[in-house]
A and B are shown apart, each in its own frame.
Chain A
Amino acid sequence: MNKMPKWADVLLIPAINLFLAFFISGLVILAIGKDPMVAIKTMVQGSFGDSRGLGYTLYYTTNFIFTGLAVAIASHARMFNIGGEGQAAIGGLGVALVCLAVPWPHWLVALPAAIVGGAVFGAAWAFIPAYLQAKRGSHIVITTIMFNFIAAALLGYLLVNVLKEPGNMAAETRSFPAGAALPTFHEMLAPFGIEFNKHSPANVSFLVAIACLIGFYILVWKTRLGYAIRAFGQSESAAVYAGISPAKITIIAMMISGAFAGLMAINNVMGEAERLIMNSVEGAGFIGIAVALMGRNHPVGVFLAALLFGFLYQGGAELALWENIPRELIVVIQGLVILLTGALDNMVRTPIEKLFVSLRKGGA
């Protein structure tokens, strides 16, 4: 018997968790002598108030959809992929190599190639921890953490010693050819007579992210592979009994996860920076954890949670700019969301379950 109705599980509990996270964050803002109401107003205005802010919000949202989906698909196979950061960084390498390989004539040709580049590189970086988990029994969490650091060192080496343009002081690749530039919202919406801010980084990758959300839904709930992944996640022994190979599913699920993380690079590397720089991922891989937890590993939830974090990210930048509240406040909120929706879930869930049980008894 379900202890509570589905809507409570999907809506009420995340809402309470979110409220608690914001409430505690409000206390933090109060504690450092600022006004939480002014802070939230600044954040909303800065991230949704005009098309410049909205463009930044949706740009961040795009990143978080990719990394959120990466964590979510691994979760369905009951694995905690904490390596999205490294996979997205290596995905960036793949996208950069593709973009720099040939003088691309048009973005419509360059984008599919870059998608393949990012996904393949991201998947390859996830393959090694997945293989070690499946065949050698090493804990996926520890190996993916280690691979984040190894990826950072590898990229540092490649950017400084191999990919850097001679004469350039900064450790970055040369700029991508003009044909690989993705259209921004400004260019995409102009034909429809909609004036979108020219300088905001939101670009066509947002649509790719939406397509990935739909693809994720179909993959997980409408295909044989998705069924196998979920079955394996629910019960390994049952999956084995049903003829599903645990090693195979572990490796496939992790590679899909890495591919999603790697895909993020079409947004931040190809769409925004248009060259590969150091630390291009900027923690988005870790935010994917919060996004997947909040979004309950469902594409609709992932989209909403990614939008929330996009808002927090852009709003946080505005806070730093106008209210002299450090950007790191967003990291605090992120930590609280992970803590409340992930680790302290039972703290909220148990009393509400009891409440529903007693309500039902009262009604019967």
Chain B
Amino acid sequence: MDFLTLIQILDSTVRLATPLLLACLAGLFSERAGVFDIGLEGKMLSAAFLSAAVAATTGSAWLGLGAGILASVMMALLHGIASITFRGDQLISGVAINFLAAGLTVVIGQSWFALGGRTPSLVGGGRFNEITLPFADSLANVPFLGPIYSELISGHSVLVYVAMAMVPLSWWVLFRTRFGLRLRAVGENPGAVDTAGVSVVRLRYTAVLICGVLCGIAGSYLATGLAAGFVKDMTAGRGFIALAALIFAKWRPWHALGACMLFGLLEAIGNRYQNIEILGVTLPGQFMQALPYILTVVILAGFVGKAIPPRAGGAAYVKER
């Protein structure tokens, strides 16, 4: 494998890791506040659909992004109403959201565009196009560092850079602000937060809505950045891979970046090669597909460092009377 191939694989790693990273950080906010979310997939899917539909109708990727975020936030709100206000089961609510999104996107898409659930292909301003960073072209010929800068770092859509910026931002919000401290506290011991006079319900809703916004960006990137339009079930399990990455990262932002890059790399390698030979053993492509899930099971089982979720996760908060 030569240097340029490596750069290309890493380049597609960054692209493929972006939706995972956004969804993973989305889940991070929600779960750190004690609201489990297995509906990341559904939120991304609804955002992907509405962003592509609006971008196709208006020709503006930015309007598409706005619509995508709106769709995802509506789903997040539903999750909040079910699991915070009505104290329903968070896991079941997540499952329901995944089904609602899988069904509604196709039913609405078919009646809107009559293309069998697809949206028209996006062209021109309907897509987030690649940005060439300053000097990328002139530096391309510099040995070693040139290709890294011009191929790997430059030439992505704006949402890729947004996703990368979200990592330090999430870290700062969660670990350096008062809001972040309270948010983490509500996921560990909501009773203590309530005693301190801070509204548990409000904090959890805020976290769930942040989760909705980030999932909305993730889904919009899928349909208007990575691809050029929406197709049925286009998230293809990415929401669950993001969930896996979240566990793999043990609910920490910087580790989330690492986990998503790893899973993105696996996908990039799987896309490029059918089978991979390592030390004389041929690994089938399906193994690469399953690897994120296998790694997550291993880490969850505590064989390689234990992943302990936020303590109050999954349980609705009932104020004592």
- Residues of chain A whose beta carbon lies under 8 Å from any beta carbon of chain B: 28, 31-33, 80, 82, 128-129, 132, 136-139, 141-143, 145-147, 149-150, 153-154, 156-157, 160-161, 286, 289, 293, 325-326, 328-336, 338-339, 342-347
Cβ contact of B107, chosen from A82, A161, A325, cutoff 8 A: A325
Min CB–CB distance A169 → chain B (angstroms):
17
- Residues of chain B whose beta carbon lies under 8 Å from any beta carbon of chain A: 38, 78, 81-83, 86-93, 95-108, 110-111, 117, 232, 237, 240, 243-244, 247, 284, 286-287, 289-290, 293-294, 296-297, 300-303, 309
Known: A153-B286, A342-B93. A138 touches B108 (CB 8 A): no
In whole angstroms, how far apart are the Cα atoms of A33 and B100 in the complex? 19
Residues on A with C-beta less than 8 A from B247 are 142
Min CB–CB distance B138 → chain A (angstroms):
44
**B104 lies within 8 A of A332 (CB):** yes
**A132 lies within 8 A of B297 (CB):** yes
**A132 lies within 8 A of B300 (CB):** yes
Known interface pairs A136-B302, A328-B104, A332-B99; 17 further A-B residue pairs with C-beta atoms within 8 A, sorted by A's residue number: A138-B300, A146-B244, A146-B294, A154-B290, A160-B286, A326-B107, A328-B103, A328-B106, A328-B117, A330-B103, A331-B102, A332-B100, A335-B97, A342-B89, A343-B82, A343-B88, A345-B86
**A80 lies within 8 A of B96 (CB):** no
**A335 lies within 8 A of B87 (CB):** no
25 A-B pairs within 8 Å (CB atoms) are namely A82-B95, A128-B297, A132-B300, A137-B302, A138-B300, A138-B302, A142-B247, A142-B296, A143-B301, A146-B296, A147-B293, A147-B297, A149-B289, A153-B286, A153-B293, A154-B290, A157-B284, A157-B287, A293-B92, A326-B110, A329-B103, A338-B95, A338-B96, A342-B96, A345-B88
Residues on B with C-beta less than 8 A from A80 are 89, 91-92
**B96 lies within 8 A of A343 (CB):** yes
**A339 lies within 8 A of B38 (CB):** no
Q: Give the interface centre of B103, B287, B300 by most chain A CB atoms within 10 Å.
A: B103
**B88 lies within 8 A of A342 (CB):** yes
Min CB–CB distance A156 → chain B (angstroms):
5
Known: A142-B247, A339-B93. A329 touches B107 (CB 8 A): yes
In whole angstroms, how far apart are the Cα atoms of A342 and B303 in the complex? 34
Min CB–CB distance B298 → chain A (angstroms):
10
Residues on B with C-beta less than 8 A from A143 are 297, 300-301
Min CB–CB distance B221 → chain A (angstroms):
22
Cβ contact of B99, chosen from A129, A146, A331, cutoff 8 A: A331
Cβ contact of B103, chosen from A33, A154, A335, cutoff 8 A: A335
Cβ contact of A334, chosen from B99, B106, B110, cutoff 8 A: B99
Min CB–CB distance B285 → chain A (angstroms):
8
Min CB–CB distance A17 → chain B (angstroms):
12
**A335 lies within 8 A of B302 (CB):** no
Known: A326-B117, A335-B100, A335-B103. A343 touches B286 (CB 8 A): no
**B107 lies within 8 A of A32 (CB):** yes
B284 to chain A: closest residue by CB = A157
Min CB–CB distance A259 → chain B (angstroms):
21
**A28 lies within 8 A of B96 (CB):** no
**A338 lies within 8 A of B92 (CB):** yes
Known: A138-B301, A149-B290, A328-B102. A335 touches B107 (CB 8 A): no
Residues on A with C-beta less than 8 A from B111 are 31-33
In whole angstroms, how far apart are the Cα atoms of A150 and B237 in the complex? 12
Residues on B with C-beta less than 8 A from A343 are 82-83, 86, 88-90, 92-93, 96
In whole angstroms, how far apart are the Cα atoms of A136 and B297 in the complex? 11
Cβ contact of A342, chosen from B92, B110, B297, cutoff 8 A: B92
Residues on B with C-beta less than 8 A from A347 are 86
**B293 lies within 8 A of A150 (CB):** yes
Cβ contact of A149, chosen from B83, B99, B293, cutoff 8 A: B293
**A326 lies within 8 A of B106 (CB):** yes
In whole angstroms, how far apart are the Cα atoms of A331 and B104 in the complex? 8
Min CB–CB distance A337 → chain B (angstroms):
8
Min CB–CB distance A86 → chain B (angstroms):
10
Residues on A with C-beta less than 8 A from B302 are 136-138
Residues on B with C-beta less than 8 A from A150 are 290, 293-294, 297
Min CB–CB distance B103 → chain A (angstroms):
3
Min CB–CB distance B85 → chain A (angstroms):
8
Min CB–CB distance A1 → chain B (angstroms):
18
Residues on A with C-beta less than 8 A from B96 are 335-336, 338-339, 342-343
Cβ contact of B38, chosen from A128, A145, A325, cutoff 8 A: A145
In whole angstroms, how far apart are the Cα atoms of A338 and B82 in the complex? 11
**A139 lies within 8 A of B300 (CB):** yes
In whole angstroms, how far apart are the Cα atoms of A347 and B107 in the complex? 27
In whole angstroms, how far apart are the Cα atoms of A141 and B89 in the complex? 12
Residues on B with C-beta less than 8 A from A31 are 108, 111
Min CB–CB distance B190 → chain A (angstroms):
18
In whole angstroms, how far apart are the Cα atoms of A319 and B313 in the complex? 41
B275 to chain A: closest residue by CB = A161
Min CB–CB distance A349 → chain B (angstroms):
9
Residues on B with C-beta less than 8 A from A332 are 99-100, 103-104, 107
Residues on B with C-beta less than 8 A from A82 are 38, 91, 95
**B287 lies within 8 A of A146 (CB):** no
- The 5 A-B pairs with the shortest beta carbon distances in the complex, nearest first, are A335-B99, A331-B103, A332-B103, A343-B88, A343-B93
Q: Give the interface centre of A32, A80, A147, A343 by most chain B CB atoms within 10 Å.
A: A343
Min CB–CB distance A39 → chain B (angstroms):
12
**A289 lies within 8 A of B100 (CB):** no
Min CB–CB distance A101 → chain B (angstroms):
24
B81 to chain A: closest residue by CB = A344
Residues on A with C-beta less than 8 A from B297 are 128-129, 132, 138, 143, 146-147, 150
